[in-house]
Structure 1
């Protein structure tokens, strides 16, 4: 079994930056993005109450976890939300996310 998965962050110019995310630390995608110094504020620390970790899922080769009510409510309040929007704090790194491609969304 692998000890890490790969997550890609798509930039505005279409370039994809490859990130390695360990499977043994119970990290969220938000924590992986912050560790790689992407501009994620995560003001609430991963509680799904600020939406400053909003990403758009561009590709996913596994199953994303179901969205809980708190995440759905926060996404409904965002002007840039799409049908593929998620809060990266609510996506736990697991083997199903291997190959995930996200775009970091603007806050306003």
Structure 2
């Protein structure tokens, strides 16, 4: 079963079984993961689902498009090389993803 491991800014880890076809953001919201606000509900217009993806997992993700890249410049915590918006990360049958949420989203 696909899973996403969410590490919060304080180091706490929560592993969630995910549903293929959902996004990482939808998985977080559905399971009450702290640190994912998702104000826009996944419409790529708020950047409040910012996560830092584990370096080993980055090659397995789809390429970042121009709109996501632009939105990452508006995050509450500065973006890093491994920053992504979790609404743009699809869950597949083979997902085993590790992300860290920033200290704040707003």
The interval holding the TM-score normalised by the smaller chain is 0.7 to 0.9
Q: Could you tell me which residue of structure 2 aligns to residue 92 of structure 1?
A: 90
Q: Can you give the 5+ residue segments of structure 1 that lack an aligned partner in the other structure?
A: none
Residue 61 of structure 1 deviates from its aligned partner by 7.4
SS in 2 for 1:67: coil
- Answer yes or no: is 1:30 the counterpart of 2:28: no
Q: How many residues are aligned here?
A: 102
- Answer yes or no: is 1:52 the counterpart of 2:48: yes
Regions of 4+ moved over 4 Å: none
Equivalent pair of 1:62/1:97 in contact (CA under 8 Å):
no
SS in 2 for 1:60: helix
- Structure with the greater alpha carbon radius of gyration: 1
Pairwise CA RMSD of aligned residues?
1.9
Higher strand share: 1
Normalising by structure 1, report the TM-score: 0.82
Higher helix share: 2
Distance 2:46 2:93 in 1: 27
Distance 2:10 2:38 in 1: 24
Distance 1:102 1:77 in 2: 19
Normalising by structure 2, report the TM-score: 0.83
